[in-house]
Amino acid sequence: MSNKPEPEVLGHPLFRSALPVIQKLTVHHYEAVFVGGCVRDALAGRDIADIDIATAATPEQVLELFDHVAPTGLQHGTVTVIMGGKGYEVTTFRKESAYEAFRKPSSVEFISDLNEDLRRRDFTVNAMAMSEDGKLIDPFGGQADLRRGLIRCVGDADARLQEDALRMLRGLRFAADYGFGQEGIEPSTWAAILRHGSLLRHIAMERVGVELHKMIKGPHPDWAVQLLLESRLLENTKEKLPLTAGNIPVAWMGPSQGEQPSEVLLEPIDSASCRWAALCISFGLNPETSRSLFQALRYSRQQSDEIVSIIALHRRTVNLVVSQSHLEGDLLAENWTRITLEMGKEASQFWLEMIEQAPWLLEGDETRSLVVLLRRLWSELPVRELQQLAVNGGDILSDVRVKGGPWLKNLLFELLLDVALGRLPNEKKALLQQVRRKLEKEQS
């Protein structure tokens, strides 16, 4: 069906900048519309990330019509039209054949019927289109579902999820991001997710990782965690993941299944890396197990190192606070300073941010008050990383004329610790004198 025009939607800068692409297609008698996520998010009043355009024109016709076009996905009917310095994906209306390996269609057929193109899509909220004059094309009731807070498969839920098993994770993500929760997943769609969860083993771990990261960095990560646990989807991945219902913190499950989480745990945390770290900590994962999780999800080494370093620093700091809370301030300060310098400036900043935004990660008022002390000690450090030292390895080797080796790295760290604790001034002359004293002492 076609609803009344929504002209205010087209006032968005992204729609306005893409409108000439649609207008040029329609002037040449090719139906063309905005489609998918941009329409959904515009109607929901959310930020729009990308503009997608669908058209009755074939890829060859689009290539012929526009001056600057990149053939980014010809086999799927997609090209990227470059206009005004921006790229817009333009995809031909299509119908898909049977799917292979529960992920991709074996072939696509270009068609001229927009409704048929929308019929192949995953959820009703994604099966809406909008014409250049703002008229909504919504044959499957996506706008009504959006208003009701409902994620529903287009047509037969079993068929949609068996076509592409990744749609199960996408459905959970949409329900979480929009704050719908389990009750916001239409009953037959939810039942189909529970029935076909085992199909997730056919999906590449990289794709699973992408969806999970979107959930964790999204607006409602606690909803996402609850939905993942209630659906038990993560028990069916190609590689085993340590995030299962067996060790879930009670707060995420809500008063009863399907209800809002009884506590908001991850949402107050700004950084996605800190959210991941908090999640792993709450599940009792140590740094090694956490690293295996991110390796399984095919996260980059840099991303994995960043998260794991926060987890490792948390464990070391908690052990310090719990076991040494009786220590004098100077000794506690020295141990904490050593930990932060060893773990690095970035990990320390992330950890302090995480604890401030998620105090539930620490137990007891005394522990939390000590963290206030640690935060103050950190803020007062004169140096926090080797790059801030007034000398480097080259300066030391030139001064003492000794061959380099592992000793140099250890010596630089000890200098950094001495400066951080105020034992030495951060001056080149004083630091080189300290180096000579240390070497002379070791040689005597």
CATH (domain of 120): 3.30.460.10
The pLDDT of residue 245 is 58
Of the pLDDT bands very low, low, confident and very high (cuts 50, 70, 90), residue 404 is confident
My answer on whether 357 and 413 are in the same domain is no
The pLDDT of residue 238 is 95
Residue 181 lies in a domain: yes
User: 284-287 — which CB contacts under 8 Å span 24+ positions?
Assistant: 284/247, 285/242, 285/311, 286/311, 286/315, 287/311, 287/312, 287/315
- Please state, rounded to an integer, the average pLDDT across all residues of the chain: 89
My answer on whether 21 and 81 are in the same domain is yes
My answer on whether 99 and 240 are in the same domain is no
Residue 29 lies in a domain: yes
The CATH code of the domain that includes 403 is 1.10.246.80
Q: What is the mean pLDDT of residues 30-57?
A: 94
The CATH code of the domain that includes 224 is 1.10.110
Residue 183 lies in a domain: yes
My answer on whether 208 and 314 are in the same domain is no
Instruction: Tell whether the model's pLDDT for residue 273 goes beyond 90.
Output: yes
Residue 158 lies in a domain: no
The pLDDT of residue 401 is 83
What six digits make up the tokens of 333? 């300060």
Instruction: Tell whether the model's pLDDT for residue 4 goes beyond 80.
Output: no
Per residue in 109-157, pLDDT tens? 899 999 999 999 999 999 999 999 999 999 999 999 999 999 999 999 9
Q: Is the dihedral of CA 216, 220, 223, 224 positive or negative?
A: negative
My answer on whether 247 and 114 are in the same domain is no
Per residue in 205-260, pLDDT tens? 999 999 999 999 999 999 999 899 999 999 999 999 988 655 566 555 554 445 55
Q: Which domain holds residue 414?
A: 387-443
Q: Tell which wins on pLDDT, 419 or 438.
A: 419
The pLDDT of residue 366 is 63
Question: Residues with Cβ < 8 Å from 299, sequence gap 6 or more?
Answer: 209, 213
Q: What is the DSSP string of 315-369?
A: HHHHHHHHHHTTS-HHHHHHHHHHHHHHH-HHHHHHHHHHHHH-GGGS-SHHHHH
Residue 36 lies in a domain: yes
* Residue 73, phi then psi, degrees to nearest 5: -155, 55
My answer on whether 53 and 116 are in the same domain is yes
The Cα–Cα gap between 437 and 173 comes to 60
Q: What is the mean pLDDT of residues 277-297?
A: 95
My answer on whether 21 and 133 are in the same domain is yes
Question: Residues with Cβ < 8 Å from 402, sequence gap 6 or more?
Answer: 439
What six digits make up the tokens of 294? 């991110």
The Cα–Cα gap between 13 and 235 comes to 42
My answer on whether 299 and 413 are in the same domain is no
- How many Cα atoms are found within 13 Å in the side-chain-facing hemisphere of 365? 0
Select from 148, 180, 200 the last residue of a domain.
Answer: 148
Instruction: Tell whether the model's pLDDT for residue 39 goes beyond 90.
Output: yes
My answer on whether 216 and 309 are in the same domain is no
My answer on whether 119 and 172 are in the same domain is no
The tally of domains found in the chain comes to: 4
Select from 148, 177, 204 the last residue of a domain.
Answer: 148
My answer on whether 87 and 135 are in the same domain is yes
Q: What is the mean pLDDT of residues 19-48?
A: 94
Instruction: Tell whether the model's pLDDT for residue 3 goes beyond 90.
Output: no
The pLDDT of residue 255 is 44
The pLDDT of residue 239 is 96
Per residue in 369-401, pLDDT tens? 777 888 899 999 999 999 999 999 999 998 888
Residue 103 lies in a domain: yes
Residue 275 lies in a domain: no
State the pTM of this model.
Answer: 0.88
Q: What is the mean pLDDT of residues 323-335?
A: 72
Residue 69 lies in a domain: yes
What six digits make up the tokens of 330? 């100077």
The pLDDT of residue 101 is 56
My answer on whether 171 and 143 are in the same domain is no
